[in-house]
Structure 1
């Protein structure tokens, strides 16, 4: 039987020298929410209630982010984080997993889906990196534009989470994700995939989302008008509806 952690406190998981923390709510097939660069599990607060009404939701905080371990803990990088989440899936005995990843979290989720094809049934990529390329300086210069094209009331949360992680770790993590392309993994992904993008995303342009969806067999692409890079915060009702409708559709039943 899969492990059933209590909801009364955050849970810590360690493997291979890396660590994360997670909270759990709801019942049903599992959904793992994976935040992005400078993000935290708190970025999903407008989505968890809707998702947890029909699923068991695991809200992850990677080391040095959000409620995760303190900033002095090393970041395992994109591939290290993916290996850690794959190990968590094994530890909890999860099957029929849905991975929902935002930005760097989507990038990580692609790697997890490639590592655990028999356990990951659905993949939702929200404004995901993975095909993003270019110098870190350009990424940094686009951050202010990305902030003002989304929900302005959310900017203090972005600043607070980024400050907790610290500029050095953010700079290192940005370099890691820009060096790591998922291009070769995409044609072999077996999870049913939904790619969701904000039409006003100034950090990872919608053209990258369309390329991502085109490279994944059977993937669906949805663009949310007036939403920016943090699409699940900018347009939570639209995002939740897209995800729940996608999960409710009859997909191929695995043996």
Structure 2
């Protein structure tokens, strides 16, 4: 299997920023299924570390760090809208000449996958939404206004420091026994770069609201929704509402599972995706 790191990856830049991405089992100009993994808010490709080797048995996998997260640039000038982030994913897919695309989006990444599905249905075969965000409005005017204050980034930094990586993980993972030093270090690492707090300030200002029901109902791409029944971040009621609005969708949920399903239930999620994709596990 060709893994990221066995060959040099050409840099990918768009909108004046460099985007970190990883490739697995990739062959140029191949017609194999390609899984495009989009992570959630305050996360990175690290959140898919358990799912990637499973999916790579059945096709190419590309995972990217959405700016300003992970190893991607943390610009203060980039417009951090969902539309721009969707355009980054689309541009990377086209840059790599990928085809037979199955989008996999977790949390915020699910909303970006929905934006892509709406904007470029010609590019996507199927979409998998894992505890996807949904129906969130644009940031309140007062918060947007505050983001223009010179030292607002320090407020964000202090809020994240007070929360701490352990507290955040306890909020997204139902089975606390899964939390170990490797997990804590992996999710904390991107925040050692001071620039991310400036970028998050800009993100608060730029983020549109999630797609409304009237636009979701226009999406015809087959969708699979996978949820944790103990999700404290995006309650299962949001998943059921998305299922209702996405007319060509299926819904699966797991008991005793929280928001970070790629970490908690990687084998189950993998089996759901492979079955949904119509790929035999023997392949």
Task: Say whether the fold is shared (TM-score over 0.5).
Answer: yes
Whole-Å Cα distance in 2 between the matches of residues 212 and 122 of structure 1?
15
2:117 maps to 1:113: yes
2:174 maps to 1:149: yes
2:98 maps to 1:98: no
TM-score, normalised to structure 2, is 0.75
Runs ≥4 in structure 1, deviation > 4 angstroms?
70-73, 133-137, 140-145, 162-165, 174-177
In structure 1, the residue matched to 2:8 is 9
2:92 maps to 1:88: yes
Residue 11 of structure 1, CA deviation: 4.0
Counterparts in 2 of 1:12 and 1:191: CA distance versus 1, 3 Å: farther
In structure 2, the residue matched to 1:25 is 24
1:145-178 per-position Cα deviation (integer Å, ceiling 9, x unaligned): 624535433344333345547445345535655x
Residue 37 of structure 1, CA deviation: 0.8
1:185-226 per-position Cα deviation (integer Å, ceiling 9, x unaligned): 311212210011111111111110111111011200111222
Which runs of no fewer than 5 residues in structure 1 stay unpaired?
Answer: 251-255
Which runs of no fewer than 5 residues in structure 2 stay unpaired?
Answer: 27-31, 144-159
5 Å-filtered alignment, 1:201-240, equals: 201-240=231-270
TM-score, normalised to structure 1, is 0.82
Whole-Å Cα distance in 2 between the matches of residues 75 and 9 of structure 1?
29
Larger radius of gyration: 2
Residue 79 of structure 1, CA deviation: 1.4
Residue 20 of structure 1, CA deviation: 1.6
Residue 231 of structure 1, CA deviation: 0.8
In structure 2, the residue matched to 1:247 is 277
Residue 33 of structure 1, CA deviation: 0.4
Residue 35 of structure 1, CA deviation: 0.8
Whole-Å Cα distance in 2 between the matches of residues 147 and 73 of structure 1?
30
2:57 maps to 1:53: yes
Which of 127, 137, 148 is the aligned partner of 2:131? Answer: 127
Which of 201, 209, 224 is the aligned partner of 1:180? Answer: 209
The alignment's C-alpha RMSD in Å is: 3.0
Residue 93 of structure 1, CA deviation: 2.7
Contact kept, 8 Å, 2:71 with 2:190, in 1: the verdict is no
Counterparts in 2 of 1:190 and 1:94: CA distance versus 1, 3 Å: farther
Contact kept, 8 Å, 1:41 with 1:67, in 2: the verdict is no
